[in-house]
Amino acid sequence: ILRPPRPRPLAGKRVLITAGPTHEPIDPVRYIANRSSGKQGFAIAAAAQAAGADVTLVSGPVELRDPAGVTVIRVESARDMLHKVEAALPADIAIFAAAVADWRVANEGEQKLKKTAAGMPPLQLVENPDILATISKLKEKRPPLVIGFAAETEHLIDNAKAKIARKGCDWIVANDVSPASGVMGGDRNTVHLLTREGADKIGVDSINVESWPVMTKEQVATELVAKI
């Protein structure tokens, strides 16, 4: 039987995606992390692969199987993730769906911290590198299309607009993760696609907002890939 070939609009394009949380060690047995299932990033990787792209997925610790046909690189910390992302360049499109831990512990214990009469261990936090901002601000190796995510619990659009300008990316997929929205860890997402209009414009006034109806994470992935 002859079937018409599946359309492969991203054939020949290299797509780099981050997904999942990062784990920042406190000591050999404990870590700081964000809540993230990795489902949205994995769904985007699968959708981009189905569209014909050559996909590299750099993922923090998640309990998801590798999407077929995708190069998956598993990492733990934000710094590992940044290094693997840099090593995976160049790319035509980069999509940063990971929930990167903003801070790591500066005084990481070499041995397991023990409970003592002296009280709780003081944890000193330092800021992690911002992977999205780092890649958005590259000169030669900046992917032509850089897409970030913004998970917010309040002032969703305003915060996302500020983020697109601050980070220097081209698009942001903003989603409401307030407890009332019920999306954390689930299979659905309500997102808004913010796009910067005009390559040189980074003012918040030149940002277009498109609000999508509630969809499964797979549908969000398919729609995003269609936009790309």
Catalytic residues: 34
Determine, following the binding rule CB under 6 A, whether residue 150 of this chain makes contact with ligand CTP. yes
Question: Smallest gap, in angstroms, from Cβ of residue 94 to Ca ion?
Answer: 17
Which of 185, 213, 190 shows the shortest CA–CA distance to 39?
185
CA-based max dimension of the chain = 75
Q: Which is nearer to ligand CTP, 52 or 102 (CB)?
A: 102
Q: Which does 149 bind (CB under 5 to 8 A by kind): ligand CTP, Ca ion, none?
A: ligand CTP
Question: Mask of contacts with ligand CTP, 82-121, x by CB under 6 A?
Answer: --------------x-x-x-x-------------------
Q: Which is nearer to ligand CTP, 47 or 94 (CB)?
A: 94
Report CA-CA distances (Å) from 60 to 18, 37, 157, 181.
Answer: 8, 10, 27, 24
Angle between helix 39-50 and helix 217-227 axes, rounded to 10 deg: 50
Cis preceding-peptide flag for 90 (omega within 30 of 0): yes
Q: Are 129 and 98 in contact (CB under 8 A)?
A: no
Kindly tell me which residue out of 27, 76, 102, 223 binds Ca ion, with binding defined by CB under 5 A: 102
Q: Which residues contact 42 (CB under 8 A, 6 or more apart)?
A: 19, 57, 59, 62, 64, 67
Binders in 10-39 for ligand CTP, by CB under 6 A:
18
Determine, following the binding rule CB under 6 A, whether residue 48 of this chain makes contact with ligand CTP. no
Q: Which residues bind ligand CTP (CB under 6 A)?
A: 18, 78, 96, 98, 100, 102, 128, 130-132, 148-151, 163
Q: Which residues bind Ca ion (CB under 5 A)?
A: 102
